[in-house]
């Protein structure tokens, strides 16, 4: 390793963790972390929460300090990558220069899915993925202004909560029949619709955006129903797409993300990848899955670093997620894909704390825990143990420590 150079493309959660983990695994050569933002690598989940609401600064969100990178001799390079020459072992930078590598890691993340309707390029139409995006939105977010959020997923709802805290008039437009339809049970969707409406947010479901109107600046949003909604600015949150173009152009296999195995290796065993840009086969789901979450990105990065150092570690941790809205913390353990039954502990119709357990063929596969950290921790433990579900009644008892596998 001494005298060799490891290059990490993407100063994301995965990229920052991979750089740190390389040193922890004993890499003694150069480490170059390439990102396309001048700021230190920062946490992204708080962008739609604490940073947008003005409760934290970008400096607060730094994953690690500048002193850490200096001490660990990790070089931070502000640049874009145009292409990978796998045969020659070098990258072509945006300025035309070349950067050689002995080991390469791709942590290119994801980008917001664009809204493809007339008027989507008007001034005042924003996306929320970077600190610069938040800066632009905060510049528009004066109390009393009218914000229209397209998309009732986690980012859209978190943004709605933050803008309400800033005193804005907020409307959420969701194209499907309920918010969070892709990721939660109807009972959980109804809960979040209730708390947002209680906070003064207008939520429109089955609301298909047909066009955005204005001269040079947004003025209103037209729906397919013919209704128009006045807007001073619009935030689009309709999902993300993995940044796989660099990998694809270099001949790596891409399948809803850069395809990796359980050791984070791409189709080129000399190149690893980690984070939102990757997909891997999960035996528990019998298919290739791309996860968009920080814990998964961190674990993949640790395994990728070990792989680059010649160590045999595998990705094993179960996925988990979280969302903060108002005084509500939602913690999600596992993946509920393919569930055929839910069991509720608590009443989401009137409480602000409850758990929705997801079962498939009578087996616990996931849980949405609202203001119930104990349920979340114990569900994670049960899923990790692969414990059989002893009985549905045990899921709704006040103290889940009675569940044993």
As a dihedral over the C-alpha atoms of residue 358, residue 364, residue 366, residue 370, rounded to 10 degrees, the angle is 70
What value does the mean pLDDT take over residues 223-235? 97
Give one DSSP letter per residue of 318-373, joined into a string: PPEEEEEETTEEEEEEE--TT--EEEEES-TTT-S-EEEEEEETTEEEEEEEES-H
pLDDT of residue 402: 38
Cβ atoms within 10 Å of 181's Cβ, excluding its own: 16
Segment holding 107, helix H or strand E: none
What value does the mean pLDDT take over residues 365-393? 84
pLDDT one-digit tens code per residue, 204-226: 999 999 999 999 999 999 999 99
Percent of the chain with pLDDT over 90: 88
Is the dihedral angle over the CA atoms 182, 184, 187, 192 positive or is it negative? negative
Backbone angles phi, psi at 33, to 5 degrees: -105, 115
Q: Given a cut of 70, is residue 403 above it in pLDDT?
A: no
Establish whether domains 5-51+63-111+240-308 and 125-236 are of one fold.
yes
The structure's pTM equals: 0.93
Cβ atoms within 10 Å of 158's Cβ, excluding its own: 24
Backbone angles phi, psi at 195, to 5 degrees: -70, -30
Label residue 386 by pLDDT band (50, 70, 90).
Answer: confident
Is the dihedral angle over the CA atoms 144, 180, 42, 99 positive or is it negative? negative
pLDDT one-digit tens code per residue, 278-311: 999 987 677 889 999 999 999 999 999 999 999 9
Collect contacts of 22-27 with beta carbons under 8 A, ≥24 apart.
22/305, 22/308, 22/309, 23/72, 23/74, 24/305, 25/305, 25/306, 25/308, 25/309, 25/311, 26/1, 26/309, 27/1, 27/305, 27/308, 27/309
Domain spanning 5-51+63-111+240-308 has what CATH number?
Answer: 3.50.50.60
CATH number for domain 327-402, candidates 3.20.10.10, 3.40.190.80, 3.30.390.30, 3.30.428.10: 3.30.390.30
Label residue 168 by pLDDT band (50, 70, 90).
Answer: very high
pLDDT one-digit tens code per residue, 343-367: 999 999 999 999 999 998 888 999 9
Considering only the top CATH level, what class is 125-236? alpha beta
Q: How far apart are CA 323 and CA 268, in angstroms?
A: 35
Nearest residue to 179 via CA among 166, 195, 165? 195
Q: Where in the chain are the domains? A: 5-51+63-111+240-308, 125-236, 327-402
Label residue 400 by pLDDT band (50, 70, 90).
Answer: very low
CA–CA distances in Å: residue 359 to residues 21, 153, 389: 36, 22, 9
pLDDT of residue 286: 72
Backbone angles phi, psi at 265, to 5 degrees: -85, 140
Q: Given a cut of 90, is residue 317 above it in pLDDT?
A: no
């Amino acid at each position: 390793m001494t005298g060799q150079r490891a290059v990490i493309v993407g100063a994301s959660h995965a990229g920052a963790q991979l750089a740190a983990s390389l040193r922890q695994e004993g890499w003694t050569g150069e480490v170059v972390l390439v990102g396309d933002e001048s700021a230190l690598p920062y946490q992204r989940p708080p962008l739609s929460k604490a940073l947008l609401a003005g409760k934290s600064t970008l400096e607060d969100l730094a994953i690690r300090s500048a002193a850490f990178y200096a001490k660990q001799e990790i070089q931070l390079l502000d640049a874009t990558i145009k292409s990978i020459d796998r045969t020659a072992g070098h990258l072509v930078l945006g300025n035309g220069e070349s950067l050689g590598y002995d080991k390469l890691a791709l942590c290119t993340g994801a980008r917001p899915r664009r809204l493809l309707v007339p008027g989507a390029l008007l001034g005042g139409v924003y996306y929320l993925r970077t600190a610069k995006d938040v800066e632009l939105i905060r510049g528009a977010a004066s109390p009393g202004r009218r914000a229209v959020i397209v998309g009732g997923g986690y980012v859209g709802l978190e943004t709605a909560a933050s803008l309400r805290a800033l005193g804005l008039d907020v409307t959420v437009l969701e194209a499907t029949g309920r918010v969070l339809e892709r990721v939660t049970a109807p009972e959980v969707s109804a809960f979040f619709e209730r708390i947002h409406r209680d906070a003064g947010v207008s939520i429109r479901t089955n609301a298909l955006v047909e066009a955005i109107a204005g001269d040079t600046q947004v003025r209103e949003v037209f729906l397919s129903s013919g209704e128009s909604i006045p807007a001073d600015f619009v935030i689009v949150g309709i999902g993300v797409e993995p940044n796989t173009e660099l990998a694809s152009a270099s001949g790596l296999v891409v399948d809803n993300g850069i395809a990796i195995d359980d050791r984070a290796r791409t189709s080129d065993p000399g190149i690893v990848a980690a984070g939102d840009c990757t997909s891997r086969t999960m035996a528990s789901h019998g298919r290739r899955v791309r996860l968009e979450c920080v814990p998964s990105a961190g674990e993949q990065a640790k395994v990728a670093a070990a792989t680059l150092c010649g160590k045999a570690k595998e990705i094993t941790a179960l996925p988990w997620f979280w969302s903060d809205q108002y005084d509500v913390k939602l913690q999600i353990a596992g993946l509920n894909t393919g569930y055929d039954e839910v069991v509720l502990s608590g009443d989401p119709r009137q409480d602000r704390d409850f758990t929705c357990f997801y079962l498939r063929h009578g087996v616990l596969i996931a849980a949405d825990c609202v203001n119930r950290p104990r349920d979340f921790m114990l569900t994670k433990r049960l899923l990790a143990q692969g414990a059989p579900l002893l009985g549905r009644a045990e899921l709704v008892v006040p103290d889940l420590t009675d569940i044993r596998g």
